[in-house]
Amino acid sequence: MLRVSDGEIAYLGPEAKARGCAGSGARVTVVLPCYNDGPLTREAVASIEEPEPVDVIVVDDGSVAAETAEILGQLSADGTTVIHHEQNRGLPIARNTSLGATRTMYVFPLDADDLAVRGALSAMADKLDADPEAAVCFGDYLEFGDHEIVRAVPGRLDPFRLAYVNEYPASALMRRSVVLALGGWRVLGAGYEDWDLWLALAERGDKGVHLGPGNLTFRKRFHGERMLSVAKREHRPLYRRLRRDHPGVYGHLRSYRRASDLAPHRKLLYPVVYGARPRFTFEHHVKRWLDRVGLWSCAVSAIGVGAESRQGPAPEPPPGRPCKRSERDRG
C-alpha cells in the first residue's frame, strides 16, 4: 500500500509519469476512488471479470471508517493496488492519483458504489484497438437500486448536445495518453468534473466510439441522493464555468448544431430544456415517467432484469440480448 501526502497529485499535465503501482501487461486499469465505502468497494472490485488481466487501483481518499480500512487491507493483501490519501481530497483528485499510478494503454474510472459488467472492458478495449483514432469507448449502462432501467447513451460524441446536457457516462474506457494530455479530472465540484472532461474531449475534436446499442458497459447504483442530485442546486454557476472554460465548444455552437444528428425539433428543444436554466427537485419524477413510457431509455424488462435486484447487487444481463432503443436513443 502507498500513501500520498497532501498536494502531491492534484492536476496532471502531459508530462505525468507512472508511479509504478501497477503493471501486469494488462491493457486496462480500473481506477476506483473510495471514501468510507469499504463494502461497496469490495463488491465493485469483485465485479471485474474479464478474459484477460486487468489492473485495479483503489485510492482510499482519507477514509476514517475502521471497516473500510480493514477491507482495503484485505484487497491489498489479495493483490489489488491500494493508495492512501492522508486526508479526504475529493473524487477528481483521487482519480488523478490513480491515473498517475497507471501503466496501461487504457483507463476506466469506476465509482465505488457502481459495478462492472463481465467482459465489457475487453470488448471496449477491442473497439479502441481497432480504431487508433478513437480516444474513448462508451456505451449504454444499467441503472439499479432505487429503480432499474437501461440508460441509452448517444451513438457518437456530439458537441452540440453535450454543450447543453451531459448524456455521457462517468465510466468509459479512455486512452490514458489522452486523459493525461487533458490534465486528468479538474476540480469543479458536485460531479461536474465528468461533463468538463467530455467537453474537453469534444473541444479537441477527439473521436468516441460506442460499444453498440444495448451492450452494457457498467452498472450504476442509485441509492438515496447521489452527487449529481445534490448538484441541481449548484447547476447554474457550474454551467457558467463550463461555458467560460470551453470556448472551443460554446463559441462554435452554430456549426456544431448543423453537424449534429439530432432531429430538428430536438435541436430547438435542447437549449430550452437543458442549458443554463435552473434545475428543480420535481424533475426526477417527470424523468421517471418518461423512462416508463420509453421516451428516454431502454426498458429493463427487455434484458430480463427483474425487481429482485432492488435489494441487492444488479444481476448480470443475459448476453446477446440488446434492448430496443427508442427514437430518442437514436437521436
Strands 134-138 and 207-210: parallel
- Torsion on CA atoms 275, 208, 172, 233, rounded to nearest 10: -10
pLDDT tens-place string over residues 291-312: 666 665 554 443 444 333 333 3
Domains by residue range for the chain, with CATH: 2-311 (3.90.550.10)
Q: CA nearest 148: which of 308, 321, 318, 323? A: 308
Higher pLDDT, 6 or 15: 6
| Residue 43 to residue 17: CA distance in whole angstroms | 30
Cβ(17)–Cβ(101) below 8 Å = no
CA distances from 314 to 36, 106, 300 (A): 21, 25, 11
Q: 15 falls in which pLDDT band (50, 70, 90)?
A: very low
Strands 2-4 and 115-116: unpaired
Phi/psi region, residue 58 (left: phi>0; alpha: psi -120 to 50; beta: rest), is beta
Q: 276 falls in which pLDDT band (50, 70, 90)?
A: confident
Q: What is the mean pLDDT of the chain?
A: 83
Higher pLDDT, 299 or 131: 131
Q: 327 falls in which pLDDT band (50, 70, 90)?
A: very low
DSSP state of 131: -
pLDDT tens-place string over residues 28-41: 999 999 999 999 99
pLDDT tens-place string over residues 212-262: 998 999 999 987 655 555 566 788 899 999 999 999 999 999 999 999 999
Among 109-123, 162-176, 195-209, 279-293, name the one with the lowest average pLDDT.
279-293
CA distances from 263 to 43, 45, 198, 289, 323 (A): 40, 40, 22, 22, 22
Note the pTM of the prediction, 2 decimals.
Answer: 0.84
